Structure 1
Amino acid sequence: MARKGKWLRFILDDESRVFSHLGMTGDWLQVPMNAPAQRSERARIDVIQRGRAISVRYVDARRFGRLIVARDDIADWTTLGPDPLVNGVDIGRLSETFAKSQRAVKIILMDQRVLAGIGNILATDALWIARLDPRSPGIALLPRDAREMARGLHQAIARELADPGDSFFVYGSAGKPCPRCGRRLSSIVLGGRTSVYCPGCQVRRKME
């Protein structure tokens, strides 16, 4: 099995592949081979290795995830950018990506071709740490912004790993005081996703 960003890839005995994206509600459970079907079970893969038999079951109550069987690697897998957990964040590459795009910096960060696995929560918190307004166009960012953005991503990821799903810097806190400057946090919609930010201490870069 391999992981890249939010995708998992299983290679079966016949070399075919199973690709899994958990979405918001999907999960894989390891159970004994003879375990009954799990609630909301959508698929199962049985494995016999070194004489030990186990079964992994894909469960997804709301079916937000994706499950794809293919003979070869799919485009959703091959086009993924570097995974920050595996490859780190290349500041030079990130700076070059910003400099070539007029898109909002948050939209760039959530582009899976740029960085695999960065979603709404991590992008929102990382931008707050970096003190950057999510609407800032990439082309308007300064060289130091890429360094601060990389630092913000590392801190946001570390916090999420330490306390998954329960501890955020500002995500989900619109209307509350900013933890840094005390000003009321605002929210906007970018790329169809809600983005919380502080109008007091997150700088909005603009093109000259």
Structure 2
Amino acid sequence: MTEKPVQRRPGGRTARNRENVLRATADLLLSEGYEQLTFARVAAAADVAETTVYRRWPSKVHLAADALSELARVENPIPDTGTLEGDLRELLSQVVALIERPEVRRVILTVVSLAGDAEVVRAKEVFWEARFAGAATIVSRAVERGELPSDTDPYEVIEDLAAPAYFRLLVTGRPLDSRLVERSVALALNGPNIRSMPGPDRHTSASIHG
């Protein structure tokens, strides 16, 4: 009887190494901060060769950005509640819960302080491109359901939604509470693109609470 060849998952080892490296990076970032992050420490924690880390990530800035993107993807999955309002509320609630964690807040503030570094700027661009691409799914589904006009700019909707939370985090320090979530959802739902949608029932109403 001829034995069947073992089916190996394409890129299995590479995928596992990447997962281990990003997990180790996130753990180090959140527990000890960006300043203490090194390729050598990440490689040791992930049980991979240091060259494995260097080959994939050109700098610790890119490594940190990739790890934070993966953390956000896992802990902030794109919601699908069936309505635009529900999706926006759930998305922002997840974001607020994540950035309210002291260790996450510390990393964000540290990275922002490095804004003059060209590598940091590019890494942040990659991070936000990935986050916006995922969140844009919410807008695309809303267009398909007829809740939004077809020319709605997904980036503008998500910017309207998330900007107040990051303004409070980075500038004023005011609470990231449920009032902020409801107010931000209402602002996003009444943005210029959404107001252009005909019909009184294009979305359920959202009152501004603050």
TM-score when scaled to structure 2? Answer: 0.29
Higher relative contact order (CA 8 A, sep 6+): 2
Quick check: which one's strand share is greater? 1
Bigger fraction of residues in helix: 2
